[in-house]
Structure 1
Amino acid sequence: MELEFIKLTSHQFEELVFACEQTSHEISCFFDKQTGDVEMLGDYIETDPELKERIEEEFGERYIRVPKIESWQSFEDMEEFTETVQEKKMQNSLERALRGGKGVFRRFKDTLSGDRNLLEQWYKFKDQRNRERVLRLFEEEFIKLIIE
């Protein structure tokens, strides 16, 4: 299969990354290869019936499903970020937050919320990881995104 090159503005790319984070059982996101736009469909989203029909008719050619960033990938990001934390007390607190199943994402964020700078570093780290992940996911679909 031949690699397809698609140019996106930085705003379109950020919308695409956001869509990858939001895709769930209730929300399906589709990437329009012609315009670079993301379309969301779901039970609780008001959608133009013509858009839904167009996506169904042109799925695979013009539209592709936006890949989902899985929770296990986000968990790995939290683990890797924790390893970068210099202050040992905070690093230990984050390691404790990562143990024990349910509520791990909330505990991790709550632990970070006491340190505004560290919380900001986490968001930058997570955003960068998700941007890289989206580029890789699209390359797996033989699409090279070029951000302008």
Structure 2
Amino acid sequence: MRNRKRKKSALSDHESVSIDQDDQFYFIAGYTEGGAPYGVTWEEYEAQSALAKDCSTSEGEPQMKKLVLTERQLQELIDTYDMHMDGIEHFLNIDNGEIVMINSFDMEDEDEELSEAIEEGFNEIYFRIPSRESHEGYMDMEDFADTVPNEKLRTKLFNVLSGGKKIFRRFKDALTSDARELDRYYKFVESRNKVRILEWLESINFTVIVGKDNSVEDYSV
């Protein structure tokens, strides 16, 4: 409970001023002849504070935009995130949800035109799609290995993760002995990449709406 007629500092320690408060009033401006206080109530103060916060948020942070994608487009976006090839860059066109590719090693006339369009609409229409980082891939393998019920296979996977060359390839090779676990691993990685793609889209102020059977589904992390 708020103490009656509390004193509160409204300014800095170097130039402070005290204000009267009680359980009903955040700021007591004065008293009537009968001794009843009047001023700004706690409800009024909290309502004004909430409004100011909302205004500050709307002015200081861009509002989230809706990005409507088909299931195919979302899946393609997730698959693209898992790709990495030197000289190849992928961009998402947020106007139509399509993904375009630029090959900087072997550019043709069409690529030149597309490159110019991307440059003109960069971070407005075209957004560069990030790729899965190697540390994310290692973390996925480590987390997945923890879920493998077969102790012999789990030990084998952690032995691969302990070091050496071509860890990613050897990890998958170790899983080929169990087709079910290999398939589960691919689905595990895909689900992780889906979360990362949605987080990336949120970082550029887009929330995804996916069309499905004449309806839409709102995706958020």
Q: Confirm whether residue 28 of structure 1 aligns to residue 52 of structure 2.
A: no
TM-score for the superposition, normalised by structure 1: 0.93
**Residues 1-148 of structure 1 correspond to what in structure 2 (within 5 A)?**
1-42=62-103, 43-44=105-106, 48=110, 49-148=112-211
Moved over 6 A (4+): none
Alpha-carbon distance in structure 1 between the residues aligned to 2:85 and 2:137: 14
The structure showing larger relative contact order (alpha-carbon pairs under 8 Å, at least 6 residues apart) is 1
Measured against aligned partners, the alpha-carbon deviations of 1:13-68 in whole angstroms (never above 9, x if no partner) come to 11111221224441111100101001111224656122121111111111111122
Identity of aligned residues (%): 36
Choose between structure 1 and 2: higher strand proportion. Answer: 2
Contact preservation (8 Å) 1:24, 1:68: no
Contact preservation (8 Å) 1:23, 1:66: no
Measured against aligned partners, the alpha-carbon deviations of 1:108-140 in whole angstroms (never above 9, x if no partner) come to 000000111110111111111111111111111
Structure 1 pair 96–67 and aligned structure 2 pair: CA distance change class (3 A):
same
- Structure 1 residue runs without a partner (length 5+): none
Structure 1 pair 45–144 and aligned structure 2 pair: CA distance change class (3 A):
farther
Alpha-carbon distance in structure 2 between the residues aligned to 1:47 and 1:124: 38
Aligned length: 148
Structure 1 pair 44–98 and aligned structure 2 pair: CA distance change class (3 A):
farther
Higher alpha-carbon Rg: 2
Of 117-126 and 138-147, deviating more is 138-147
Choose between structure 1 and 2: higher helix proportion. Answer: 1
